[in-house]
Protein backbone atom coordinates (compact mmCIF):
# COMPACT_ATOMS: atom_id res chain seq x y z
CA UNK A 1 0.00 0.00 0.00
CA UNK A 2 2.95 2.29 0.58
CA UNK A 3 4.64 4.33 -2.15
CA UNK A 4 8.39 4.15 -2.49
CA UNK A 5 9.97 7.35 -3.69
CA UNK A 6 11.62 5.66 -6.67
CA UNK A 7 8.24 4.52 -7.96
CA UNK A 8 6.71 7.98 -7.74
CA UNK A 9 6.91 8.81 -11.43
CA UNK A 10 5.37 5.48 -12.39
CA UNK A 11 2.41 6.21 -10.15
CA UNK A 12 2.00 9.73 -11.50
CA UNK A 13 2.11 8.27 -14.98
CA UNK A 14 -0.86 6.11 -14.03
CA UNK A 15 -3.03 9.03 -12.97
CA UNK A 16 -5.75 8.32 -15.56
CA UNK A 17 -6.93 5.74 -13.03
CA UNK A 18 -7.62 8.69 -10.75
CA UNK A 19 -10.13 10.05 -13.23
CA UNK A 20 -12.78 8.17 -11.27
CA UNK A 21 -12.55 10.88 -8.62
CA UNK A 22 -11.73 13.66 -11.05
CA UNK A 23 -7.97 13.97 -10.59
CA UNK A 24 -6.62 12.95 -13.95
CA UNK A 25 -6.06 16.55 -15.00
CA UNK A 26 -4.47 17.66 -11.75
CA UNK A 27 -0.89 17.55 -13.00
CA UNK A 28 -1.85 19.82 -15.90
CA UNK A 29 -2.55 22.67 -13.49
CA UNK A 30 0.81 23.43 -11.83
CA UNK A 31 -0.08 27.08 -11.20
CA UNK A 32 -2.77 25.97 -8.76
CA UNK A 33 0.00 24.62 -6.56
CA UNK A 34 1.89 27.86 -6.46
CA UNK A 35 -0.67 30.53 -5.69
CA UNK A 36 -3.74 31.12 -3.58
CA UNK A 37 -5.55 27.83 -4.15
CA UNK A 38 -5.38 25.66 -1.00
CA UNK A 39 -3.77 22.64 -2.59
CA UNK A 40 -0.69 20.50 -2.16
CA UNK A 41 2.63 22.27 -1.91
CA UNK A 42 1.76 24.77 0.76
CA UNK A 43 1.90 22.27 3.62
CA UNK A 44 1.31 22.91 7.29
CA UNK A 45 4.13 25.42 7.54
CA UNK A 46 2.83 27.55 4.67
CA UNK A 47 -0.76 27.93 5.85
CA UNK A 48 -2.18 30.75 7.93
CA UNK A 49 -4.56 29.21 10.43
CA UNK A 50 -6.36 25.90 10.19
CA UNK A 51 -7.63 24.94 6.75
CA UNK A 52 -11.40 24.52 6.56
CA UNK A 53 -12.42 21.88 4.00
CA UNK A 54 -15.08 22.89 1.52
CA UNK A 55 -16.25 19.37 0.65
CA UNK A 56 -15.36 16.99 3.46
CA UNK A 57 -17.18 16.80 6.78
CA UNK A 58 -14.97 17.02 9.91
CA UNK A 59 -15.13 13.24 10.30
CA UNK A 60 -14.28 12.62 6.66
CA UNK A 61 -11.49 15.17 6.83
CA UNK A 62 -9.84 13.35 9.74
CA UNK A 63 -10.21 10.03 7.90
CA UNK A 64 -8.69 11.42 4.71
CA UNK A 65 -5.67 12.69 6.65
CA UNK A 66 -5.12 9.33 8.35
CA UNK A 67 -5.46 7.39 5.13
CA UNK A 68 -3.24 9.77 3.16
CA UNK A 69 -0.47 9.35 5.74
CA UNK A 70 -0.77 5.59 5.49
CA UNK A 71 -0.13 5.90 1.76
CA UNK A 72 2.78 8.35 2.13
CA UNK A 73 4.13 8.48 5.67
CA UNK A 74 6.88 10.78 6.83
CA UNK A 75 10.37 9.38 6.32
CA UNK A 76 13.97 10.51 6.74
CA UNK A 77 13.84 12.35 3.41
CA UNK A 78 10.49 14.13 3.34
CA UNK A 79 7.36 14.88 5.30
CA UNK A 80 4.10 12.98 5.10
CA UNK A 81 1.18 13.47 2.76
CA UNK A 82 -0.46 15.84 5.24
CA UNK A 83 2.79 17.77 5.64
CA UNK A 84 2.67 18.39 1.88
CA UNK A 85 -0.94 19.55 2.00
CA UNK A 86 -2.36 16.55 0.14
CA UNK A 87 -5.73 16.51 1.97
CA UNK A 88 -6.22 20.16 0.97
CA UNK A 89 -5.40 19.21 -2.62
CA UNK A 90 -7.97 16.42 -2.61
CA UNK A 91 -10.58 18.69 -1.04
CA UNK A 92 -9.97 21.28 -3.75
CA UNK A 93 -10.30 18.66 -6.47
CA UNK A 94 -13.59 17.48 -5.02
CA UNK A 95 -15.04 20.96 -5.52
CA UNK A 96 -13.27 21.54 -8.83
CA UNK A 97 -14.27 18.11 -10.23
CA UNK A 98 -17.73 17.42 -8.71
CA UNK A 99 -18.05 14.10 -10.55
CA UNK A 100 -15.57 12.65 -8.06
CA UNK A 101 -17.61 13.46 -4.99
CA UNK A 102 -19.88 10.41 -4.94
CA UNK A 103 -17.05 7.85 -5.37
CA UNK A 104 -14.97 9.59 -2.71
CA UNK A 105 -17.74 9.91 -0.13
CA UNK A 106 -18.98 6.40 -0.85
CA UNK A 107 -15.50 4.98 -0.42
CA UNK A 108 -14.99 6.69 2.92
CA UNK A 109 -18.34 5.35 4.11
CA UNK A 110 -17.36 1.85 2.95
CA UNK A 111 -14.14 2.17 4.96
CA UNK A 112 -16.03 3.12 8.11
CA UNK A 113 -18.65 0.40 7.59
CA UNK A 114 -15.95 -2.25 7.20
CA UNK A 115 -14.13 -0.94 10.26
CA UNK A 116 -17.33 -1.02 12.31
CA UNK A 117 -18.03 -4.55 11.11
CA UNK A 118 -14.62 -5.79 12.19
CA UNK A 119 -13.72 -3.68 15.18
CA UNK A 120 -16.89 -1.93 16.31
CA UNK A 121 -15.44 1.52 15.65
CA UNK A 122 -14.90 3.90 12.74
CA UNK A 123 -11.64 3.85 10.80
CA UNK A 124 -10.34 6.93 12.60
CA UNK A 125 -11.13 5.44 16.03
CA UNK A 126 -9.38 2.07 15.71
CA UNK A 127 -5.73 1.33 16.45
CA UNK A 128 -2.92 1.75 13.95
CA UNK A 129 -2.56 -2.01 13.69
CA UNK A 130 -6.27 -2.42 12.94
CA UNK A 131 -6.14 0.28 10.27
CA UNK A 132 -3.17 -1.42 8.65
CA UNK A 133 -4.94 -4.78 8.65
CA UNK A 134 -7.98 -3.28 6.97
CA UNK A 135 -5.98 -1.37 4.37
CA UNK A 136 -3.86 -4.43 3.58
CA UNK A 137 -7.03 -6.17 2.39
CA UNK A 138 -7.80 -3.48 -0.20
CA UNK A 139 -4.35 -2.22 -1.17
CA UNK A 140 -3.35 -5.09 -3.46
CA UNK A 141 -5.97 -5.62 -6.20
CA UNK A 142 -4.50 -8.91 -7.44
CA UNK A 143 -4.59 -10.42 -3.98
CA UNK A 144 -7.89 -8.98 -2.78
CA UNK A 145 -10.94 -11.20 -2.50
CA UNK A 146 -14.19 -10.29 -4.33
CA UNK A 147 -15.89 -9.17 -1.12
CA UNK A 148 -13.49 -6.21 -0.99
CA UNK A 149 -14.00 -5.09 -4.60
CA UNK A 150 -15.63 -1.78 -3.63
CA UNK A 151 -12.88 -1.03 -1.14
CA UNK A 152 -10.19 -1.93 -3.66
CA UNK A 153 -11.65 0.42 -6.27
CA UNK A 154 -11.87 3.25 -3.77
CA UNK A 155 -8.38 2.78 -2.36
CA UNK A 156 -6.79 2.55 -5.81
CA UNK A 157 -8.29 5.90 -6.75
CA UNK A 158 -7.43 7.41 -3.39
CA UNK A 159 -3.82 6.23 -3.58
CA UNK A 160 -3.45 7.75 -7.05
CA UNK A 161 -4.88 11.02 -5.73
CA UNK A 162 -2.40 11.07 -2.85
CA UNK A 163 0.52 10.33 -5.17
CA UNK A 164 -0.58 13.05 -7.58
CA UNK A 165 -1.03 15.57 -4.80
CA UNK A 166 2.25 14.78 -3.09
CA UNK A 167 4.54 14.54 -6.09
CA UNK A 168 3.21 17.71 -7.69
CA UNK A 169 3.67 19.65 -4.45
CA UNK A 170 6.81 21.61 -3.63
CA UNK A 171 7.76 18.98 -1.07
CA UNK A 172 7.25 16.13 -3.52
CA UNK A 173 9.19 17.83 -6.29
CA UNK A 174 12.06 18.41 -3.88
CA UNK A 175 11.80 14.77 -2.80
CA UNK A 176 12.23 13.68 -6.42
CA UNK A 177 15.10 16.16 -6.82
CA UNK A 178 13.51 17.29 -10.06
CA UNK A 179 15.47 20.17 -11.54
CA UNK A 180 13.41 20.94 -14.65
CA UNK A 181 15.04 21.99 -17.90
CA UNK A 182 18.64 22.71 -16.98
CA UNK A 183 21.20 23.55 -19.71
CA UNK A 184 24.17 21.20 -19.99
CA UNK A 185 26.93 23.06 -21.88
CA UNK A 186 29.35 20.18 -21.45
CA UNK A 187 27.21 17.51 -23.10
CA UNK A 188 29.14 15.45 -25.65
CA UNK A 189 26.31 13.42 -27.09
CA UNK A 190 24.89 10.01 -26.20
CA UNK A 191 27.21 7.53 -24.47
CA UNK A 192 28.49 4.69 -26.65
CA UNK A 193 26.38 2.12 -24.81
CA UNK A 194 23.23 3.95 -25.95
CA UNK A 195 24.21 3.58 -29.58
CA UNK A 196 24.96 -0.10 -28.99
CA UNK A 197 21.60 -0.61 -27.32
CA UNK A 198 19.79 1.02 -30.24
CA UNK A 199 21.84 -0.85 -32.83
CA UNK A 200 23.06 2.30 -34.56
CA UNK A 201 26.41 3.96 -35.08
CA UNK A 202 27.51 7.53 -34.60
CA UNK A 203 27.12 9.75 -37.65
DSSP character string of 127-194: -HHHHHHHHHTTS-TTT--GGGHHHHHHHHHHHHHHHHHHHTSHHHHHHHT---S---TT--SS-HHH
pLDDT tier at 188, thresholds 50, 70, 90: confident
- Answer whether 108's CB lies under 8 Å from 60's CB: yes
Q: Is residue 28 pLDDT above 90, yes or no?
A: no
pTM tops 0.75, yes or no:
no
Instruction: Find which of 81-85, 168-172, 187-191 is predicted with most confidence, using mean pLDDT.
Output: 81-85
Indicate the pLDDT class of residue 178, thresholds 50, 70 and 90.
confident
Confidence at residue 29, expressed as pLDDT on a 0 to 100 scale: 41
24-50 average pLDDT score: 45
pLDDT score of 4: 55
Q: Give kind and range of the element (H or E) at residue 6.
A: none
Distance from C-alpha of 8 to C-alpha of 176, rounded to nearest angstrom: 8
pLDDT tens string 103-148: 999 999 999 999 999 999 999 999 999 999 999 999 999 999 999 9
Query: With 50 as the cut, is the pLDDT of residue 90 above it?
Result: yes
Q: Taken in order 101, 102, 105, 110, is the CA torsion positive or negative?
A: negative
Q: What is the pLDDT of residue 156?
A: 96
Terminal alpha carbon distance of the chain = 47
Longest dimension (CA), the chain: 71
Percent of the chain at pLDDT > 90 equals 58
Give pLDDT, residue 47: 53
Better-scored residue on pLDDT, 139 or 179? 139
Question: For the residues 15-19, what does the mean pLDDT come to?
Answer: 42
**Which pLDDT score is estimated for 7?**
55
Domain boundaries, the chain: 5-198
What average pLDDT is seen over the chain? 81
Amino acid sequence: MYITRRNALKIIGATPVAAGIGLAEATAEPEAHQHGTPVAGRGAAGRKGAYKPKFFTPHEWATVALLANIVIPKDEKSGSATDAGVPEFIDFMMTDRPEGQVPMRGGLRWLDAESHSRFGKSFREVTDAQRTALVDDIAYPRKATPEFSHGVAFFSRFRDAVATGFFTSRMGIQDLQYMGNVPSPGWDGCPDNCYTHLGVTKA
